[in-house]
Each structure stands twice: as C-alpha cells, then as structure tokens.
Structure 1
Amino acid sequence: MTGCLLLLTVLGLTAAVPVARALDRAVWPEREPVLGLWVWQCLVVTVLLSCLTALALGMAAIFRTVRDDLFGSAPPAVVAAYSLSSVPAWAVALTMLLAAGAAWTVAVLAGRFRAVRRAQGAARDRLRERAPELPAGLPAQGGPLLVLEDEYPDAWWATGNPARLVVTTGALHRLTDRQLDAVLTHERGHARARHDWLLHLSAGLAEGFPRMPLFSLFCERTHRLVELAADDTAARRCGHVTTALALIELNQHRGVFSCASSRRLLADRVDRLLTPPPRLKTRTRALTAAMAACAPLLPLLITFAPGIDALG
C-alpha cells in the first residue's frame, strides 16, 4: 500500500508541475486547439484520479469500514498484497491532506456551479427585459435566435434552458452576411463543444488551488484555446479572411482594447486567421490523442497492480 501511495503521489506531482509547465510552453496546441484542450483535460483527470485513488487506499488502510467496503469481496491474497494492516505516520498524514483537498475541491466546484446557475438565471431575466415587444398577434421570440435592439455590434451564446444565440441589431447593420454567418458559427462552435462548462470548471479549479501550476495554467490555456477552436470552426465554414474581418468589426469599438491581455488575444486570433498555421499530420494527431487518453489509466494501473499480481 505504501508503495502505491508513493507512486501515485509522484505521478500526481509530476503531472501537476513539470508536465503542465512543459505543455504550457508547447506551441503545437496553437495549431491544434481542439487536441490541445483534450490533452489538458486528460492531464487534469490524471492528477485528480491520482489523488482520488491514493485517498481511497489511505482511507482503506486507516478505517476498517472503508476497508470492508472496498475489499470485502476480494480474495485474501489480494487484501494481503496491499498490506493494509501497517500504516506509517506519513501515510496517515498524506491521507488526511488528500481528504481535506477532496472536500475543498467539492466545495469550491459546487459553489462555482451554484454561482453559474444564478448568473445564468439573471442573464435570462435581463434578456427577457431587453427582448423587443412584438406586435399583437405575432409569437414571441422563443426560437434559438434572439435579436436585441442595440447600436453596438455583439453576438453571444446565452446558455440555459432554452439556450439561445443572441445577436444585436448593431451587428446586423455592421457585418456582411458572410461575416455574420462566421460570427454565428463561432458561437455555435462554443455551444456544441460545451466550452462554457469547461471554462467554469477550469476557473473553479484555479480559484480553489491558485498555487497549483496545473490548474492555473489549465485555466489560462482553456480561455485561449476555446476561442481558437471556435475560430477554426467558423473559418472552415466561412473562410479565414471573412472570420478575421468579422472579429475586427465586432471588437474595434469595445473597451476590450483597453485590456492588454484581451487585446493581445484578439490580435493573435486575427493574425492566426490571416496566416493559418499548418496543421499537424493526421498520424501525429491520432497518436497524441491516444497517448493523452491513456494517461488517466496510469493511476488506475498503479492502484490495481498489487491485486492483479496477487491473482496472477
């Protein structure tokens, strides 16, 4: 058991610090943002699984009831392989630390998602207030597209039930048909990939563990990569130049230009659309995705290895 705890701890720390920093320095996710998001998610799952399996082993060693629940139906040889009867002090301390971390993670994420639900409800209420009154006899705007009277060009995906694609009259006046199609395709790309929940999850983990490099970098990269992925979706349908011009038209009047990070991201997105980077080879993409998918299996393999060896 102590060997498994050590290996799981080393695996979690390695993935959370040096591997996360190496992935943050890599340039290929800019070329393949969807693949980059997948690799980041697999890395986060690997760390969380390492902590969860280590916590389960530690709790089984410390508490008899947990041991009976986890190993009650296991053969005696499997139970003996984990040496649950002898628990050093450092293992007890590590287990208590992991238990506190798990409780804190659940509390932070639950609080985050409650706040998101409240914010979505408030946003839906504001949309209902801003929605134009239609003449009597016409149905209300209940479809997936909602047009708001506003001189500023804007478009966004309003999550909730029902989810709606919102566009202002300013955007309808300023953008050409092709540019408007690119903007709407961009927003639909966010919706189809559920980027909103990915952003909330990454932000919640970063807020809960601000000193953990993995979670802070995951949050930063997610905010960037989801925009690049949606840009690629729009560019494939409407063209790279059209999508770039639509971004410029939508953002040139905004206060976003007073924010250095947002201005830099917008400039990078436009440059990337005007000079698209070459994609990775299909074989490289498939191999990278498969290797990332296998990473979360490592903590499970470490956890079950003594039992499998005992059965063999």
Structure 2
Amino acid sequence: MTVCLVLLSAVALTAAVPAPRALTRAAWPEREPVTALWAWQCLVSTALLCCLSALALGAAAVVRTVRDHVFAPAPPAVAAAHGLSAASTAPAWTTALTVVLAAGAAWTAAVLARELTGARRRRGAAHALLRERAPELPIGLPSARGPMLVLEDAYPRAWWLPGRPARLVVTTGALRRLTDHQLNAVLAHEGGHARAHHDWLLHLSTALATGFPRVALFTRFCDQTHRLVELAADDTASRRCGRLTTALALVELNQHRGVLSGNGHRLLDERVNRLLQPPRRLARPRRGLIAAVAALIPFVPLLITFLPGLTTIP
C-alpha cells in the first residue's frame, strides 16, 4: 500500500505542476481548441482520481470498517497484496495523509455545490428578469418565449442563457449593428456553446480555481477553459458562416470595448486575429493520437490502485 500511495502522489504532482505548464505553453491548443479542452479535462480527472484513490487506500489502512467494506468483494489475498492484513497497522504519515485528503475531498464537494447552487440562482434571476423585460405578446403575434429573445437595449450584446428553456438573448443595439449574416454567425457561436454544454465546464473550472487558488493545475485549467471555449465556438460559427463574417460580428459587438486597439482585451484581440489569420489545423491522425493519449492518462491512477490485487490472480 505504501508503494501505491507514493506512486499516486507522484502522478498527482506530475499532473498538477509540470503537465499543465507544458500544456499551457504548447502551440497546438490554439489550432485545436476542442482537443485541448479534452486534454485539460483528462489531466484534471487524473489528479482528482489520484487523490480519490489515495484517500480510499489510506482510509482502508486507517479505519478497519472502511477496509472491510472496500475489500469485502475481493479475496483475502487482494488485501494482503496491498499490505492490509488484519494485523497490520497504518503508520502515522498514512493517517495524516488520509486526514488531509479527506478534508480536501470535503472542500472540493463544498465548492462544487456552492458554484452550482450559485449558478442556478443566477440563472433563475436572469430568467425572471427576462420575463419582466419581455412580457407575453398578444395572441396571433410571434412568441417572445422562443429560442431567441430580443430585448430593447442600446448596448450591443448577445448571450446564451442556459436553462429550461434555453434562450439566445440579443439586444436591439446588436441587431442595429449586425447584418443578417453576422447575426447568423452570432447565433452559431452561442449555439456552439449550448450544444457543447460549455456552461458546465466553466462552472467546474471556476469552482476548482476558486476553492484551490494556489494549485496551478486548477487556476490554469480555469484560465484556459474560458479561452478555449470561445475559440471552439468561434470555429463553430466560422464553419457555418465564414471566418470574415464571424470576425466582423465579433468586432461589431465589441467596438465599445476597444477590440483591436491594444487596450488590454487580449482574448478579444486574439480571437479576431485568429479568425482573420486562421492557424493550420493538425492532421487528423495527430488529433486522434492526442485525444487517445489524453483519454488513457486517467487510467494510470486506477492501474496503480488495482495492480497489486491483479497480481494475485493466478
């Protein structure tokens, strides 16, 4: 069991420190934002699985009741292979590590619950505000409750509001600025967010970064997620409406923010420049290889955890 805990700690540290640094500095995520999002999710899953597996093993070593429940379906040789015989006692460092991991697991669950509860509350308030600003129309007129909702507002904005029903909200200020093709690009962009459920990914990354602000893996995951989901949605819109149309729509919606003026809006500038000068995509075999390797990484902590028991199989 000691070897398993050491290996799990090594994998967790590798996933938490050098791996996110290398992934952040790599050039290919800009070319393949969807694949990069998948790689980040796999990396975070690996670190969380390491901690969860170490917590299960540590708790089994420290608490006899947990040990009996965890290894109840397995033959006695499996527990012995993990160094968890009936007469064995856990060293002090194992107890301390288990307490720390248990506290971390409880805190993770708390920050996730807080983020999801807050998001649900904010979404409910937004829907209530929309109901006030967009009352029911008389019978015979188009319904304001459809997938796209137009609000009277001089400020040019367009956003997707998740929920049931989900709504694309566009202000009259945006409609005045955008041509029909540009509006279609905005619809495709926001629809790409909705179909990929980017809101859940943003909630997860925000919760982890807020709960563990000193963990580089989670803070980089949050920063890169907010960046990559926009690049992925831009690609969705550009495939349907063209890159130039999508870039012009983005400029029209953000002129008041100083896009392309060097006023500190780095993501907006990056998105427009990327649409106007698109990077060359990776070859399909290379994309598949990256996705496959990323998908296999979370199995490493599971293999470390179950390997001692697998060696007992004749």
Deviations 1:261-292 (A, max 9, x none): 5x111011000000000001111000000000
Shift in CA distance, 96/109, structure 1 to aligned 2, threshold 3 Å: same
Residues 126-161 of structure 1 show CA distances to partners (whole Å, capped at 9, x for unaligned) of: 111111553455464221111111222221101111
Alignment correspondent of 1:240: 243
Could you list the runs of 5+ residues in structure 2 that have no partner in the other structure?
Answer: none
Return the alpha-carbon distance in structure 2 between the equivalents of residues 191 and 242 of structure 1: 21
- Name stretches of at least 5 consecutive residues in structure 1 with no aligned partner: none
Identify the match of residue 176 of structure 2 among 159, 173, 178.
173
Find the counterpart in structure 2 of residue 39 from structure 1: 39
Counterpart CA distance in 2 for 1:298 and 1:68 is 25
Residue identity in the other structure for 2:80? A
Q: Once the 2 structures are TM-superposed, how far is the Cα of residue 112 of structure 1 from its aligned partner?
A: 1.0
**1:27-78 Cα shifts (integer Å, max 9, x gaps):** 1101100000000000000000000000000001111111111111211111
**Using the alignment, how far apart are the partners of 2:193 and 2:308 within structure 1?**
43
Higher deviation after alignment, 151-160 or 179-188: 151-160
- Which letter does structure 2 place at the counterpart of 1:286? G
Distance 2:45 2:73 in 1: 28
Alpha-carbon deviation of 1:225? 0.3
Return the alpha-carbon distance in structure 1 between the equivalents of residues 261 and 163 of structure 2: 30
User: Per-residue displacement from partner, 1:107-129 (whole Å, max 9, x unpaired)?
Assistant: 11111111111100111111111
Are the structure 2 counterparts of residues 43 and 226 from structure 1 closer, same or farther at C-alpha, using a change threshold of 3 Å?
A: same
- Partner residue in 2 for 1:227: 230
Deviations 1:179-206 (A, max 9, x none): 1100110000000011111111101000
Partner of 1:163: 166
Aligned length: 311
Shift of 1:86: 3.3
1:310 matched to 2:312 = yes
Query: Which position in structure 2 is the counterpart of 1:101?
Result: 104
What per-residue deviation string (whole Å, max 9, x for no partner) do you get for residues 2-29 of structure 1? 1101100110011001111111111110
Contact preservation (8 Å) 2:260, 2:269: no
CA distance in structure 2 between the aligned counterparts of 1:139 and 1:278, rounded to whole angstroms: 43
Structure 1 outlier segments of 4+, above 6 Å: 255-259
Aligned counterpart in structure 2 of residue 299 of structure 1, from 290, 298, 301? 301
- Determine the structure 1 residue equivalent to 2:68: 68
TM-score (norm 1): 0.96
> 138, 142, 146: which is aligned to 2:145?
142
Instruction: Tell me the amino acid that sits aligned with residue 124 of structure 1.
Output: H
What secondary structure is seen at the aligned counterpart in 2 of 1:166?
strand
- TM-score computed with the length of structure 2 as normaliser: 0.95
- Change in CA separation of 1:257 and 1:241 when aligned onto 2, cut-off 3 Å: closer
From 189, 193, 196, give the equivalent of 2:192: 189
Q: Does the residue aligned with 1:147 lie in a helix, a strand or coil?
A: strand
1:29 maps to what in 2? Answer: 29
Give secondary structure in 1 for the equivalent of 2:282: coil
